[in-house]
Amino acid sequence: MNYRDSIVYFFGIIVFTGLLMSCENKTRKASVIPPPFESESREVFHNASLKILNNYIDRDIDVDINYFKRANIYLDEENFEKALTDINRAIEERDNVGKYYLLRGKIFRELNNIERSLEDVQRAEALRETGSDLYILLADLLQEKRRFREAERYLNRYMQMAPFDGAAFYVKGRLLVNRGDSLASLEQYKKAIDYNPRMYRAYQQCIGLYISLKQYPEALAMNNRAISRFSDEPVLYIQRGDIYKDIAKVDSAIVAYQGATEVKPDFLEAFEKIGDLSLKNFRYGSALAAYEKIYALKKDYPDILPLLGYCYEKLGNQYRAKELYTQQLEIEPDNQRARYGMWRIRQVETMQYAEESEDAQPQRILDSANIKIETIQPRRPINISSDPKLKQIEQN
């Protein structure tokens, strides 16, 4: 090989090496895990998928599997009612597929229907469905049913398969709470949120634990974080109100409870809390408005008529209060609130009647012309000398 050939050979090696490195870089870039969907990209992906699935369902192509796929998308979008409708249709088409029952179990769990969820997941297991989703859901449901040993067995099996799933830390936190270890369970809930920021139940449990431990700044910070993600969950506003109530910020507590009623206008618990807190702090107008909402939502709410009557009584409307107490006593003659209310009103009426009677009595006017004036006669002087006993004393 001459010198020229050597130079060509040398440059050939350099070019070939460069090409290999370029290919390697492209391969590495291609092997990088893509970032998760942004919210807009995820929405576009879901919309495109739904369009395709709707077309298949309309054309009666693989109806059960396409209903199943569409239910999965609805579940991911947290549209639980539509997800439940679709998975029910899939099961109607084919009632012996384990993964269909597993998905319906997930939906029922999100709807907090523990009994139906457990029934479906056990049916899925009986149909030989396996996998991490089944184990963690069973663990979660069993701990809700207070079957802690079974729950722990499924949890351990799941954590061997998926040790960094937020659902596992959530269930572990629940198990620790039931053992009385609040601080350890709090750490598990925080890990669950870190691994799965969309797990609403973990936020709710974490905030509740902070409140029970009287760690109010941490509870409020977690509550703000949860509301920023789940702004349409009324329970989060109830928890915020409870935090403010415990630190004696009554106005802020009432505003937070009202936030729950804005999200869910028929949320009875929120009106109860507004009414009770307002009543304890002598805000009878606010309490009256809350109890009137409760009465509109539930006519047979316990003691609602005496509560309304008490508010009217304190606001000075004795006539309306008496009507409400009387109405309650006609329904329940032994109702203590109504009886005490009527007693107080009778006391007030008695006092008012006494005052009116005093004002109605005619006053006696003294007339000097009708007064007979007699002169005072002086007492007759005593004649000492005429008293024989005194004479005898003087002689002695």
pLDDT band at 178 (very low <50, low <70, confident <90, very high): confident
Does 208 score more than 50 pLDDT?
Answer: yes
Q: What is the pLDDT of residue 357?
A: 61
Question: Which ranges of 234-377 does DSSP label H, i.e. alpha helix?
Answer: 234-246, 250-263, 268-280, 284-297, 304-314, 318-331, 336-360
Q: Which residues contact 76 (CB under 8 A, 6 or more apart)?
A: 46
Q: What is the pLDDT of residue 164?
A: 81
- Report the C-alpha gap between 216 and 234 in whole angstroms: 19
Q: Which residue would you say has higher pLDDT here, 365 or 7? A: 365
From the list 135, 186, 184, 143, the residue with the least C-alpha distance to 162 is 135
How many other C-beta atoms are found inside a 10 Å radius of the C-beta of residue 30? Answer: 7
Q: Share the mean pLDDT of the chain.
A: 83
Cβ atoms 159, 167 nearer than 8 A: no
Q: What is the pLDDT of residue 395?
A: 54
pLDDT tens-digit readout, 87-97: 999 999 999 99
Q: Which residue would you say has higher pLDDT here, 343 or 162? A: 343
pLDDT tens-digit readout, 106-135: 999 989 899 999 999 999 999 988 888 898
Tokens of 251: 């106005």
Tokens of 393: 């004393």
Q: What is the pLDDT of residue 383?
A: 54
Taking every pair of C-alpha atoms in the chain, what is the biggest distance, in angstroms? 189
pLDDT band at 13 (very low <50, low <70, confident <90, very high): very low
Q: Which residue would you say has higher pLDDT here, 222 or 20? A: 222
pLDDT tens-digit readout, 329-361: 999 999 999 999 999 999 888 887 666 666 555
Does 12 score more than 70 pLDDT?
Answer: no
Q: What is the pLDDT of residue 251?
A: 95
Tokens of 81: 């009612």
DSSP 1-43: --HHHHHHHHHHHHHHHHHHHHHHHHHHHHHSPPPPPPHHHHH
Q: What is the pLDDT of residue 313?
A: 94
Q: Select, from the ranges 154-158, 253-257, 376-380, the one with the highest average predicted confidence (pLDDT).
A: 253-257
Does 160 score more than 60 pLDDT?
Answer: yes
pLDDT band at 266 (very low <50, low <70, confident <90, very high): very high
What is the number of alpha carbons within 13 Å of residue 236 lying toward its C-beta?
22
Q: What is the pLDDT of residue 158?
A: 86
Q: What is the pLDDT of residue 349?
A: 83
Question: What average pLDDT does range 221-242 have in this prediction?
Answer: 95
Does 19 score more than 50 pLDDT?
Answer: no
Q: What is the pLDDT of residue 386?
A: 52
Q: What DSSP element (H or E) covers 109? A: helix 98-110
Cβ atoms 91, 101 nearer than 8 A: yes
Q: What is the pLDDT of residue 381?
A: 57
